[in-house]
Amino acid sequence: MNIDSFKWLNESESTVEGDKITIFAPQQTDFFNNPVAENGRLQEPIGNAPFLYTDIEGDFIIRVFVCPEFIDDYDAACLMIHQNDHTWAKLAFEKSDFDTTAIVSVVTNQTSDDANGCNIKTDSVWLQMARAGNVIVLHYSLDGEKYDMVRICSLPLESVSKIGILAQSPIGDGANHMFSNLTIEKRTITNLRKGI
């Protein structure tokens, strides 16, 4: 995993060993634009989780193997595409508030949605995100070979966006999340649903 050209948004402690990077998510760090108003007003967007990214133009496929440290609810290792504070999407392997570990996706166009996907019984998983124009498609895999679709969505993206890995611990005291085998292909995905 060559991250020499990567940059930080919200830099945190990290260690690199060969093809593996472990990122510490400090306490109460997340990306989320809560769609639920409080006292008649939306809260300010939250965007303080450590995000290690590269700028990329046009279509791509990014994959990574993640092994999060599941301590508190919503602790997660994620892939993210980020345009600005109000336009982004993330795919997470997350400790849910239903006492499971699950594939979770959040798509933000002004406000965020929050969609729990399937529960995963292993402690690690492959995540994949691809862009085809303004279409984003999210997948996961248990073996790194066969990818299952999580969702397809659209976002109003510019030609260049930030893509990379995100570590979060929204309500906890922090957690170390491991990422490895990060790859980025600069091509248009040929089958959105199958992830190839």
- State the Cα–Cα distance between residues 44 and 31, nearest whole angstrom: 11
With a CB cutoff of 8 Å and minimum separation 6, the contacts of 49 are: 10, 25, 29, 30, 31, 166, 167, 168, 169
Domains contained in the chain, CATH given: 7-185 (2.60.120.200)
Q: Residue-wise pLDDT tens for the chain (196 aa)?
A: 678 889 999 999 999 999 999 999 999 999 999 999 988 899 999 999 999 999 999 999 999 999 999 999 999 999 999 999 999 999 999 999 999 999 999 999 999 999 999 999 999 999 999 999 999 999 999 999 999 999 999 999 999 999 999 999 999 999 999 999 999 999 999 999 999 9
